[in-house]
Amino acid sequence: MTAYIIRRLVYGVFVLAGVNVLTFALFFFVNSPEDMARAQLGAKRVTPAAVEKWKRERGYDKPVFLNDKMPGSRKLTETVFFDKSVRLFAFEFGASDQGRNIGYDISTRMWPSLAVQVPAFVIGLAVYITFALLMAFFRATYVDFWGVVLCVLMMSISTLFYIIGGQFVFGKLWNLVPISGYDAGFDALKFLVLPVLIGVIGGIGSSSRWYRTIFLEEISKDYVRTARAKGLSESRVLFRHVLANAMIPILTGVVVVIPLLFMGALITESFFGIPGLGSYTIDAIGQQDFAIVRAMVFLGSVLYIIGLILTDISYTLVDPRVRFS
């Protein structure tokens, strides 16, 4: 088991190296730093001196892979690749193109993101599974039929409309909560209600339908027939047997997103003015701040790989077949 997890970890590091090389290629070979400087400075203010200054201030003026002018190991470390790519492995994100400390920004902005994402995740999971179980319990009846219709309808609506509609109804029409904004400490609560609610509602369609499919798949298996043949009640079959066995496919989809909750929700945070990592990323994209986008790509991949490893571990916890093989 330990050997297995170590193997997964080593593989994760290799994948991260791949991500790193890929992002580096994307950011430094599609366009040269000169191009980026020109795009940042705007067409009118471009002079060779300004471009050089922009590059020097951000460390893009070094050689890409090998610095011949430096002695010893600094031949490799005093390069753009080392500064902008290898240093990420030590979580040294460096400075953004606007000169802000990215590492500090991330450590302060992850809390508002988590404050929205964690409740939305937990409540959402409970709501989706309950709804899906309800549909599976009343399968092939009108409850199931209209439940599926509702799911398909809800998954056909863009997130943007849930947010705009929610802000309009709860914020403007009924004046229940502020439309957007954020505050420190417990004052944040009234700002969080709506984003969490919208986050949960937005996922009902696709998630509940997905869980319903999983439950129906389990229900069609032999052990369920055996359980019924033993004379167990339908609710006991559903909650004791089906739910327990459906945990394995559900875990596959759920555990992997838990670490990614740190990253926040791009659209939600930007609409509700929550100073989390999602709005941070959107602002960076809007300002074409490539250093922040690079850092977020790396962070996202790290969290995803942690999620994959957690998924493997959670399998061993819930599934004895995996644990003992």
Residues that bind another protein (CB under 8 A): 14-16, 18-19, 22-23, 26-27, 30-31, 35-36, 38-39, 43, 139, 148, 152-153, 155-161, 164, 167-168, 172, 179, 216, 220, 260, 263, 266-267, 270-271, 281-282, 285-286, 288, 290, 293-294, 296-297, 300-301, 304-305, 308
Would you give the DSSP letter of residue 179? Answer: S
**Residue 134 or 155 with smaller CB distance to another protein:** 155
Residue closer to another protein, measured from CB, 47 or 73 = 47
Helix then strand then coil, in percent of the chain rounded to 5, is 75, 0, 25
DSSP string, 19-81: HHHHHHHHHHTSS-HHHHHHHHH-GGG--HHHHHHHHHHTTTTS-SS--TTS-TTHHHHSSHH
The nearest distance, CB 325 to another protein, in angstroms, is: 19
- Find the shortest distance in angstroms from Cβ 70 to another protein: 29
Q: In whole angstroms, what is the distance from residue 216 CA to residue 125 CA?
A: 18
Distance CA 132, CA 207 (A): 9
- Give the C-alpha separation, 245 to 222, whole Å: 12
> Measured from the CB of residue 19, what is the shortest distance to another protein in angstroms?
6
In the complex, the smallest distance separating the C-beta of residue 30 from another protein, rounded to whole angstroms, is 4
Residue 99 Cα distances to 240, 291, 297, angstroms? 56, 10, 19
Specify the residue, 66 or 176, whose C-beta has the smaller distance to another protein.
Answer: 176
b/e string for 155-186 if b means 16 or more Cβ within 10 A?
beeebeebbeebbeebbeeeeebbbbebeeee
CB of 217: closest distance to another protein in angstroms?
A: 9
Our CB check for another protein shows the closer of 26 and 201 to be: 26
Task: Give min distance, CB of 282 to another protein, in A.
Answer: 6
Closer to another protein by Cβ: residue 16 or 70: 16
Question: Looking at beta carbons only, is 107 or 288 nearer to another protein?
Answer: 288
